[in-house]
Amino acid sequence: MTAAPWLAEDILEVATGLLGWRLVSEVDGERVSADLVEVEAYAGETDPASHAFRGPTSRNASMFGPPGTLYVYRSYGIHWCMNVVGREPGVARAVLLRGAKIVEGFETAARRRGRRDHLADGPGKLTQALGVTGALDGHDLGRAPLRLVGPGRAVGGVVTGPRVGISKATNRPWRFVADGWAD
């Protein structure tokens, strides 16, 4: 796996391909890196659980952007959640980044989170640890202050299951969790 996973044909390939890739945040000049271990795929207009199911709005506009774009939205009025846009502009397909393992900048992440455990094992926690907010909505993940770099670590296996926290299209097993590392 050397090509950017968000260029894959199928959004499910994009999702699994992202596992093991490294998020490098330099928000506020503080570097925090995290390896992706949990993602979910959303298929835009054909997926009732997707924010883009009803077409573009001001909120989800960046979801219709080019591959490698970051889509950030506020959840429950409290948390920020981030997605990687996959495939061509105009087709809303995205991968929700649900969890990662902090591999660099532990102290910064811990300070932002206000605790030293459970730093990035949920979508809202991940964005908080990396300093990601709505200000980065529409950001190009090939550039600072937030980059997605790879090829990633080889995952030992991929566990699939139903997506979390949604009420529509719950039958689609589009949640992907890395089952340890191969190396």
Residues that bind DNA (CB under 7 A): 40, 42, 49-52, 54, 57-60, 63, 71, 73-79, 81, 83, 94, 96, 113, 118, 122-126, 134, 163-167
Q: Cα separation of 34 and 31, whole Å?
A: 10
User: Is the CB of 28 or the CB of 116 nearer to DNA?
Assistant: 116
Cβ-contact 81, 136 below 8 angstroms = no
CB 150 to DNA: min, Å: 21
Q: Among residues 75 and 160, whose Cβ is nearest to DNA?
A: 75
CB-nearer residue toward DNA: 138 or 151: 138
Residue written as tokens 């590392």? 181
- For residues 174 and 164, give the distance between their C-alpha atoms in angstroms, rounded to a whole number: 10
How crowded is residue 127: how many other Cβ atoms within 10 Å of its Cβ?
A: 24
**Minimal distance in Å, beta carbon 84 to DNA?**
10
Closest distance of CB 79 from DNA, Å: 5
Q: What is the DSSP string of 96-125?
A: EEEEEEEEE-HHHHHHHHTSSSSSSSSHHH
Shortest spacing between CB 17 and DNA, in angstroms = 17
